Structure 1
């Protein structure tokens, strides 16, 4: 770890400075800006968590809404009995355990079969929770009694996004990251080289799921009440997928790059064309597939290297 930190000292310093500036922003920003940015942090954290597992292994998961909803319901149920902070931890832990069970039983699937299963998982959990709430609890909604401020939610989601990005970056430089990429390239070869592919896949799938649940639980603090349709909304799965692909899953910072313009687009459409967001998502997907299949991150990186080389050449010529 010290070697990785020493090699990327300037990058870590810049990231810490940006994080500190964003943490101090509520002192001067309006309530609208805080609400907008916390939603952006949520999308950045979700897209990064999705890419952490699916981007590296190429197991395309549409289960984001499942774990997001599990986090919301865990918070809604437990915050009445324990402090909100512990309820957030409980959401991450429960989602981690659920993801381990799901991963052990389904990560043997590949390709379209895994995609279809993860998409159906959200609907399955949605219907089970809906049935339980109506038949057993005799109500379709759960009220959230919390006086947590928008600033606290903002800082919590900033911390979650920060930890998710840093964790994704650190793992990408470690043996676990190399194992994930080896699985994505050729799982059979990875297994023959001595990688415990089952353990690696299940662990990373569960870590990704716990981050998604933590985001869902934190966002739930903004709602006066929740129900199964709010918690298990499949649009989260598709929005996170498109954000990650738009930014580029080949770089740990790519999903962050993709999530920011997507949130800006959704904010614009929410006020201008509130019923056309799904069409915009479809258009984004078409643009990504046909024009930027690798995402924005490799293009930005390529432009940066060309600019750096040009500046170095000019400097050498001047000298």
Structure 2
């Protein structure tokens, strides 16, 4: 284990401790913003865990998030199952879905994976809506708990910290080494005897688990759950944009990307509510064109020039 690796982990641990005091130091509007930011930090970190080393652009975040949110609502509303039981079960369903999607698409070239994951959330949303309207009747699904915004924030912070720790450990494992080779040249990885499909599917399943868990935790914040709310393709694009803005070559990159983007997003939403889609598209184009390696890439480039 390198000294820099321990320093990185120590710095993140310090940030987690500081972040834990946010609900104590603020409330109201700014706590709401903090919960939203922490949700996207957890989602973007889970996304980077898979897409960072493999360079596969996944747009399945909305699908896994929706599975978590919708299942916890169904279990609590229709079957009177406790929130904690559903929190244990729902992410496992997302893992099974990730294994199925990964096995079907990750053996193919990246573009097929992107196209399939783009339509996955819409496909599931349409299927769930059709089943609900035609067989279950139009009734609301409610997730009623005694959680406050502070409770949700702390749970999301815990998920983000665990995802980061898992990613930190994977980076220093044989799986992490294999994934780096896959990301650089998948053909070389196959010639070296690496089971590229198994490595990618395994990491995709981990990402699916934690993305669904975030959906479970956020569900009590919405209270009323419907397919159009939780299976949102916009969510997938926002996560990708935030991760790219921060930089995917480092697992802590999303932290840098999420916070400024969320503040700007809130401003756009309030001031220009009908221009949010345009803002997303422009953001993606500007990031890809001007800072393809994200803010992390700019920082590393600066330090290399400084040391030269």
| Contact 1:96 1:207 (8 Å CA) reproduced | yes
Moved more, 30-39 or 211-220: 30-39
- Give the paired residue count: 306
TM-score between the two structures when normalised by the length of structure 2: 0.93
RMSD across aligned positions (CA): 1.8
Q: For each residue in 1:229-287, what CA deviation from the matched residue of structure 2 results, as whole angstroms up to 9, or x when unmatched? A: 00111101111111111111112212221122211111111222122111111111121
SS of 1:222's equivalent in the other structure is helix
Gaps of 5+ in 1: 311-319
Partner of 1:87: 86
Q: Which residue does 2:36 correspond to in 1?
A: 39
Distance 1:256 1:25, change over 3 A: closer
Alpha-carbon distance in 1 for matches of 2:51, 2:184: 12
Deviation by residue 1:118-167 (Cα, 9 ceiling, x = unmatched): 11111111111001111111015312222211111010011111112222
Gaps of 5+ in 2: none
- Give the 5 Å matches for 1:132-211: 132-139=131-138, 141-211=140-210
- Of the structure 1 ranges 243-252 and 203-212, higher mean CA displacement relative to structure 2 is found in 243-252
Q: Which one has the largest radius of gyration? A: 1
Query: What is the distance in 2 between the residues matched to 1:123 and 1:54?
Result: 21
* CA contact 1:88–1:217 (8 Å) conserved in 2: yes
For the 8 Å contact 1:172–1:252, the answer to whether it is kept is no
Hey, what does 1:130 align to over in structure 2?
A: 129
Corresponding residue of 1:244 = 243
Task: Return 60-69 or 10-19, whichever deviates more.
Answer: 10-19
Q: Which residue of 2 aligns with 1:57?
A: 54
Which residue number in structure 2 is paired with residue 17 of structure 1? 14
Deviation, 1:106, is: 1.9
Higher mean C-alpha displacement, 242-251 vs 82-91: 82-91
Residue 7 of structure 1: how far off its partner (Å): 4.9
Query: Is 1:114 aligned with 2:113?
Result: yes
1:315 corresponds to which residue?
Answer: none
Measure, in 2, the Cα distance between the counterparts of 1:217 and 1:14: 28
Q: Which runs of at least 4 in structure 1 moved beyond 6 Å after TM superposition?
A: none
TM-score (norm 1): 0.90
* Distance 1:206-1:139 versus aligned 2 partners, 3 A rule: same
How do 1:223-242 residues align onto structure 2 when only pairs under 5 Å count? 223-242=222-241
Secondary structure of the 2:141 match is strand
